[in-house]
């Protein structure tokens, strides 16, 4: 019997002009156009099955990721899915360790985002082939099968394959928090209205963007804390705006508003800096959260070893897809640190819900101090959008990794030739 092969890879630069409404704005990213490099894997299967994958970007630079994905396609096209998943660790290493291409990473930045997009499509294809949502595919694997998807290179001093097998347990919606109310560019009235609406919808956990101006931050934090009351949870997010010592003194000024975490206080590369901030803020009951720009398992390993974070925020599109996220979930379990994923970008909620539901059922078995970010944004472009009920992610039921976008969205938002972008150009609202 002939094995079904991946016969082609297409990649599209899709951008949504979100900067026009200040959605997604923070102290370091003032004008993001939420975007995605979107991959479709074609196969020669008789049922015409395809795999869809993406990585999230902020607009400019998406074309660079598209270029990197094309550079990776030689490792994927012509291969049989069965051969890939039967030696997934080997395939992962082949992608991440291409002897010429790894120089421009390695395992970081553009090439890691490209790896995520390609492997996300492979995982979607596999889950569809098995007729299961991705989280169920993962939950149903034996520990040995699952561990065989992980490349343990450079993390064996923190977690070995044998230890990984011990990090399992078996044990329903997953708690979510909202970032939709308090983007840095929103005026106070908009913030108040969004927050009031969110409370009515049952939200109990709220994140506010800080870091540009201390007085402004204090006013916004007070406004939100007064609205949500003392029993609901508040989180702060500085998006890497500060120096190490500045982060400590700034957050101390905001401690009166009782936030449970400060997210991304400084450079995402500064493990020792995050450790110093963690130590200084622990007496105030404020933890450090980070990870959305943490580029690989080796960095997460050190954040855990150095006690540099108290909330670990994986990202489904920055790490090397499911494979590398599995290694991080298992290390977090060993170090007893709750995983609270980053989401909100294009497709990030759709993808990461699978990982966090798997984490709950098969790894952590706990909801304590755990929640997954949610932004009510751009879900209408996905064929299988997230379902939020009572401020919780409801487990997806459709086969695959929820990565597939609607063809009309792909066509309209393709950059720069899609209708939406061409219309903005004609109206003089943007230049390309």
Name the DSSP letter for residue 339. B
Instruction: Give the interface size with a copy of itself as a residue count (CB under 8 A).
Output: 62
Question: Binding of a copy of itself at residue 86 (CB under 8 A)?
Answer: no
Closer residue to a copy of itself in complex, CB, 163/246: 246
The HSE-up count of residue 432 (CA atoms within 13 Å, CB side) is: 16
End-to-end CA distance of the chain: 50
Contacts to a copy of itself from residues 276-315, by CB under 8 A? 276, 293, 295-296, 298-299, 301-302, 305-306
Cis amide bond preceding 210, omega within 30: no
List alpha helices for 36-108, DSSP H. Answer: 62-72, 81-86, 88-96
Contacts to a copy of itself from residues 38-77, by CB under 8 A? 57-65, 67-68, 71
389 phi/psi in degrees, rounded to 5: -130, 130
Contacts to a copy of itself from residues 256-275, by CB under 8 A? 266-273
**Rounded to the nearest whole angstrom, what is the least distance from the CB of residue 361 to a copy of itself in the complex?**
30
CB-based burial, 213-222: b 16+ in 10 Å, e otherwise:
eeeebeebbe
Question: Binding of a copy of itself at residue 97 (CB under 8 A)?
Answer: yes
Closer residue to a copy of itself in complex, CB, 19/310: 19
- d(C-alpha 93, C-alpha 323), whole Å: 11
29 in catalytic set:
no
Question: Binding of a copy of itself at residue 316 (CB under 8 A)?
Answer: no
Closer residue to a copy of itself in complex, CB, 73/392: 73
The set of residues, in sequence order, having a beta carbon less than 8 Å from that of 234 and lying 6+ positions away, is 205, 206, 207, 208, 221, 224, 225, 228, 257, 258, 259, 260
Question: Binding of a copy of itself at residue 245 (CB under 8 A)?
Answer: yes
Closer residue to a copy of itself in complex, CB, 129/297: 297
The HSE-up count of residue 423 (CA atoms within 13 Å, CB side) is: 8
**Rounded to the nearest whole angstrom, what is the least distance from the CB of residue 55 to a copy of itself in the complex?**
9
**CA-only gyration radius of the chain, Å:** 21
Q: Which of 241, 325, 228, 248 is nearest to 288 (CA)?
A: 248
Fill in the per-residue mask, 100 to 129: x = in contact with a copy of itself (CB under 8 A), - = not in contact. Answer: xxxxxxxxxxxxxx----------------
Answer whether 9's CB lies under 8 Å from 118's CB: yes
- Active-site residue (options: 23, 129, 136, 209): 209
342 in catalytic set:
yes
Question: Binding of a copy of itself at residue 431 (CB under 8 A)?
Answer: no
Please give the structure tokens belonging to residue 396. 């997806």
Fill in the per-residue mask, 146 to 165: x = in contact with a copy of itself (CB under 8 A), - = not in contact. Answer: -------xx-xx--------
- Active-site residue (options: 333, 342, 354, 381): 342
Answer whether 239's CB lies under 8 Å from 209's CB: yes
Closer residue to a copy of itself in complex, CB, 59/133: 59
Contacts to a copy of itself from residues 366-385, by CB under 8 A? none
Please give the structure tokens belonging to residue 49. 């099955």
Positions annotated as catalytic residues are 209, 342
Binding site for a copy of itself (CB under 8 A): 28-33, 57-65, 67-68, 71, 97-113, 153-154, 156-157, 240, 243-246, 266-273, 276, 293, 295-296, 298-299, 301-302, 305-306
């Amino acid at each position: 019997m002939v094995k079904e092969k991946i016969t082609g890879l297409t990649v599209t630069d899709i951008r949504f002009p979100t900067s026009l409404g200040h959605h997604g704005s923070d102290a370091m990213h003032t004008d993001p156009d939420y975007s995605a490099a979107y991959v479709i894997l074609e196969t020669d299967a008789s049922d015409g099955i395809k795999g869809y994958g993406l990585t999230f970007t902020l607009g400019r630079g998406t074309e660079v990721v598209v270029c990197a994905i094309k550079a990776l396609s030689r490792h994927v096209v012509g291969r049989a899915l069965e051969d890939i998943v039967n030696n997934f660790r080997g395939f992962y290493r082949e992608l991440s360790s291409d002897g010429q291409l790894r120089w421009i990473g390695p395992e970081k930045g553009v090439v890691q985002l490209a790896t995520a997009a390609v492997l996300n499509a492979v995982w979607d294809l596999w889950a569809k082939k098995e007729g299961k949502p991705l989280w169920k595919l993962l939950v149903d694997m034996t520990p040995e099968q699952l561990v065989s998807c992980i490349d343990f290179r450079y993390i064996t001093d923190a977690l070995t394959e044998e230890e990984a097998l011990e990090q399992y347990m078996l044990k329903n919606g997953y708690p979510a928090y909202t970032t939709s109310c308090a983007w840095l560019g929103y005026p106070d009235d908009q913030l108040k209205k969004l927050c009031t609406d969110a409370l009515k919808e049952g939200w109990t956990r709220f994140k506010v963007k800080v870091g540009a101006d201390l007085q402004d931050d204090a006013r916004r934090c007070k406004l939100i804390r007064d609205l949500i009351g003392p029993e609901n949870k508040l989180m702060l997010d500085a998006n890497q705006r500060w120096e190490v010592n500045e982060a400590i003194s700034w957050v101390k000024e905001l401690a009166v508003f009782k936030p449970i975490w400060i997210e991304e206080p400084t450079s995402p590369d500064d493990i020792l800096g995050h450790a110093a901030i963690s130590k200084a803020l622990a007496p105030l009951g404020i933890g450090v959260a980070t990870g959305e720009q943490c580029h690989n398992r080796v960095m997460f390993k050190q954040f855990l070893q150095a006690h540099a974070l108290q909330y670990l925020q994986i990202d489904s599109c920055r790490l090397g897809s499911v494979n590398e996220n599995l290694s991080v979930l298992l290390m977090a379990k060993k170090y007893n640190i709750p995983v609270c994923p980053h989401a909100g970008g294009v497709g990030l909620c759709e993808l990461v819900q699978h990982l966090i539901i798997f984490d709950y059922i098969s790894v952590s078995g706990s909801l304590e101090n755990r929640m997954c970010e949610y932004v009510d944004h751009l879900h209408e472009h996905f064929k299988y959008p997230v379902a939020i009920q009572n401020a919780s992610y409801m487990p997806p039921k459709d086969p695959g990794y929820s990565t597939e976008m609607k063809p009309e969205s792909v066509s309209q938002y393709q950059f720069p030739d899609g209708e939406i972008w061409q219309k903005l150009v004609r109206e003089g609202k943007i230049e390309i």
